[in-house]
Chain A
Amino acid sequence: MLVPIYGFVRGDSIGLVALVHDHQTIDELAAMLQQAASVRVAPRPRAKVYFERRLLDPKLTVGEAGLGLMDRVDVVPEDE
């Protein structure tokens, strides 16, 4: 199932919508959002994803992480 997620990449000026499958991983979601923001923010090799102030395990799928329609995630470089 496709799930629209509202993503906010640290350092960016705007929020973006990522359409992800619920079986995709949090790592893939982070990569997708970093790529979408790369016009303005250089992608980092590793990034953390937060949902409701909770750090998500990058190996979990979107579904396993409990992300649903139009949830907000924040993508923060690993070294911050």
Chain B
Amino acid sequence: MLHREQWLDLARKLDWEFSYVDEREVFPELASGTPWLPAAAWAGWDEPYRTSYTEYVANQHAKEASLFAVHESVGRVEDYLRLDPSWRSALKLHAATLPLAEFAAVIGNLRAGRFGRDSAWRTTSTLGALDELRHTQIPLLVLHDLVRADPQLDWTHKFFHTNDWVAIAGRHLVDEMLIAADPIEFAVATHFVFETGFTNLQFVGLSAMARAVGDRMFEKMVKSIQTDEARHAQVGLPVLRTLIEHDRVRAQYLVDKWFWRSWLFFSIVTGFAMDYLTPLAARTQSFKDFVAEWILDQFQRSLDELGLERPWYWEQFLAALDTYHHMVYASAYTYRATVWFDLTLPGPDDRAWLAQKYPTTWGMFDPIWERVTERWRAGGPELEWFTHGTTPITFCSLCQLPLCGGTPLHNTARFETRDGRRYPFCSEPCAWIFKSDPERYASHKDVVMRILAGEAPANVLELVHNYFGLDQDLWGKDTARGRYPWLGGGR
């Protein structure tokens, strides 16, 4: 019987020269990616896992069994309802943004499984597509099962099919990164930047917090997903190495573009959870600490090893670490009826912790929370609309997220005019990404543009009801409905 190493390449790395057709016809640039390089340029492509399909099936079967054992024992409604309500909101934020984005990644992986330029790359991507299908199905199964206990979890599946502003932003990101990108851009954006660069934060940080709050189901789910991600993310590095060798400028551009776009998304989804929605007693580190430990060191080391520069906006990114998710959270809290999960009002202890973790910037945010707190005191609990704005908020023409760049003292929003149309941007990097490929982005309308064009209602209540798809039972509220012991007045 042959040893593994004797047969493995026959199963995963088997390319040949075409004689009946031209290589460019088999791998057209439009589908295979830019720059188009002859097969010889990709011949050395390899990744360390070198998994065969048989091994894949065996490994995944064992992981499924382990996951479902946990689901059976601690994934029931009563287990969910035992969790802290604030943590449940973090869960609902992740539940909605995760599964159908993963399904979009199936498409990106399948495209690389056909049009990637080396057979080992295609093999790994095919297994990656199966991974992402699994990552779609697991949260749909585990979390949608709990809808009968918490209707907001219905957005686990519904989210990406709505016109909620977060969903518009989410689709704008994943449509380009996962569905529209060619295999080279997909490998750099998804595997190298998003998965290798950022998801450690998601999986390591959040699973540690899930453990601390006693959510064994979520902890197990993200750990199980992480082991898949760690494998198929390996596609990124060898693709990027080849790209650097032949087109360094494009390599740097793709890294710069996707680091910024990924950062904004993670800052909201993970920043909210780590600094606001995880109960204070269960927090081990701030979001900024996690980014420093799990992203900055590793990402900068990778860039150095590859001979790439840090993105040109690096100083702006470092500054945003102290501000961006705080800007968005304060805004989202006061427009919470526009989202499908509840938000928690940071109390005195939370604010003291945040002041300690963000000593240079928290002083600009604390007055906002003091103002919100005073309004709760004056209005009393349950007066949800009392704290809601009724004026439309503004959105960025690139990331589609609110104009929350900079600080409360200096918002970094900027405007560009193109063909007579005004485009607002939250930041210089978003404007740069837009201007680097305007044909791709120019026709897309943010929520305000849709309102001005008559495609969406201007009245905020009507917008939330009829356009975002949220009704009063479902839309986001204060987690405690304003009944915090520290608010006083017997509440």
Contacts and interface: CB of A to CB of B under 8 A. Distances in A.
B135 to A, nearest CB: 32
A36 B327 contact: no
A75 B276 CA distance: 29
Given A4-B452, A10-B408, A11-B408, A16 B372 contact: no
A8 B407 CA distance: 11
A8 B415 CA distance: 13
10 contacts: A8-B413, A12-B368, A13-B327, A15-B404, A17-B448, A40-B330, A40-B334, A40-B368, A69-B422, A71-B415
Nearest to A70: B422
A60 interface: no
A18 interface: yes
B393 A16 contact: yes
A55 interface: no
A73 B364 CA distance: 20
B448 A4 contact: yes
A17 B331 contact: no
Interface of A: 4, 6, 8, 10-19, 36-37, 39-42, 69-72
A72 B415 contact: yes
Contacts of B452: 4
B367 A11 contact: yes
Interface of B: 326-328, 330-331, 334, 364-365, 367-368, 371-372, 375, 387-394, 402-404, 408-409, 411, 413, 415, 422, 424, 448, 452, 458
A49 to B, nearest CB: 15
B391 A15 contact: no
A7 B162 CA distance: 28
B371 A14 contact: no
A2 to B, nearest CB: 10
A12 B331 CA distance: 9
Interface centre among A14, A16, A18, A42 (most CB of B within 10 A): A14
Contact of B394 (A10, A15, A19, A71): A15
A4 B454 CA distance: 13
A4 B326 CA distance: 27
Contact of A40 (B371, B402, B415): B371
Contacts of A10: 408-409
Contact of A16 (B327, B364, B392): B392
Contacts of B372: 39-40
- Per CB-CB distance, the 3 closest pairs between chain A and chain B, nearest first, are A36-B391, A15-B403, A15-B394
B391 A41 contact: no
Interface centre among B364, B365, B375, B411 (most CB of A within 10 A): B411
A41 B387 CA distance: 12
A25 to B, nearest CB: 18
Contacts of B326: 13
Given A14-B404, A16-B394, A41-B367, 11 more contacts: A8-B411, A11-B364, A12-B368, A13-B328, A14-B393, A14-B403, A15-B411, A17-B391, A36-B389, A40-B331, A72-B424
A38 to B, nearest CB: 8
B394 A42 contact: no
A6 B371 contact: no
A41 B371 contact: yes
A17 B392 contact: yes
Given A39-B375, A69-B422, A14 B391 contact: no
A18 B391 CA distance: 7
A14 B389 CA distance: 11
Contacts of A40: 330-331, 334, 368, 371-372
A78 B331 CA distance: 24
Nearest to A39: B334
A77 B390 CA distance: 22
A13 B365 contact: yes
Nearest to B414: A72
B394 to A, nearest CB: 4
Nearest to B417: A70
A18 to B, nearest CB: 7
A41 B415 contact: no
Nearest to B408: A11
Given A11-B368, A14-B404, A39-B334, A70 B388 contact: no
A14 B390 contact: no
